Amino acid sequence: MTSFSRRFGYGEASSPAPISVREDAPHEFRGVLVDLAYESGLRPTTLRNIVCQALRVRADPDNWSDFPNVDNEVRDLVDEAPWFKVCDIVEAIHRAVGAGYRPDAADPFREELNAYFVERGIGWELHDDGLRYRGPEGFETVVSNAQTDVSAHGHLTAANELHQAIGDLSRRPEPDRTGAIQHAMASLECIAREVAGSTATLGDVIKAHRDLMPRPLDVAVEKIWGFTSERGRHLVEGREPTAEEAELIVGLAAAIGVYLAKLGR
C-alpha cells in the first residue's frame, strides 16, 4: 500500500532534492537497498547469493541462520563494497527479482528505489535495462517526454539518438559528454530533415526553411548548431563540454525536436 505521504503529496517526495550524489553510494543508501530487497520478498540467504555473485566473492559457509548471521554478512558485504559495485548489486537484485524470485515485486522495487534517489538527491535512475544518468528535474521531464513524443510521431531513429545521449551521460568512470551532444543534435537533425524533406545538415535546413519555427528561434537553433560544431564535433583541446553544457544542449535538442516532430505530424 502506498504510504500516507505519497498519497497526499507530503514530504521530500513532493519536492525533489538537488542532485548532490553521483559517484558515491552513501552508507544510509546501502542499508536501504538491503531493506528494499527484503521488502521485495528476498530472504537473506537468497540475497547473499545475489550479492556474492555481483561482487565475485564466496559466501561464509559458517553462516547458516538468516537472522542475524546471514543478514549481517549481507550488510557487511554491501557496506564494504566500492560505490560502483553497489550499483552492480542494485541491478543484480532487480534482474533476479524480475526473473523469477518475485516477478510482481520488480516494479515496486524499482519505483521505491527511484523515489529514494529523488528524495536524497542521488543522480541515478533504475530502468528495466539498468541504472541510467538522472539530471535535474526539468531536464529529466523534457528528455523523457521527448523520447515518448518523437517515437509517437514515428521518429524512431531520433528517439534512439536521445536514448544514446542519455547513455553517454551515464558512462563511468568518465561520462561521454561529447557523445551525448553528438547524439542529441543527431536526433534533432534527423527530425528536421524529415520534416523539411531535406538531406542537408541541420544548420542548412534551418537556413533554407525559416518557417519551421518562429523567429528569432531559428537563429537560436543556428547558434546551438554552431556551438555544438565546436564543442560536440570538432573539439579544441581544453574546450571539452562541461556537465552543465551537455545537459543544456541535450535538453534543448530534445525540446526543439518535439516541436518539429509535431509540425510534421
Shared-domain flag, residues 94 and 149? no
Shared-domain flag, residues 119 and 159? no
Model confidence over 17-59: pLDDT tens digits?
888 998 899 999 999 999 999 999 999 999 999 999 999 999 9
What is the distance between the alpha carbons of residues 253 and 22, in angstroms, rounded to a whole number?
24
Shared-domain flag, residues 62 and 146? no
Inform me whether the pLDDT recorded for 187 exceeds 90: yes
Shared-domain flag, residues 150 and 239? yes
Which residues span the domain enclosing 69? 25-123
Instruction: For residue 6, tell me if it sits in a domain.
Output: no
Q: Of 123, 157, 185, which closes a domain?
A: 123
104 contact partners, CB below 8 Å, separation of at least 6: none
Structure pTM?
0.69
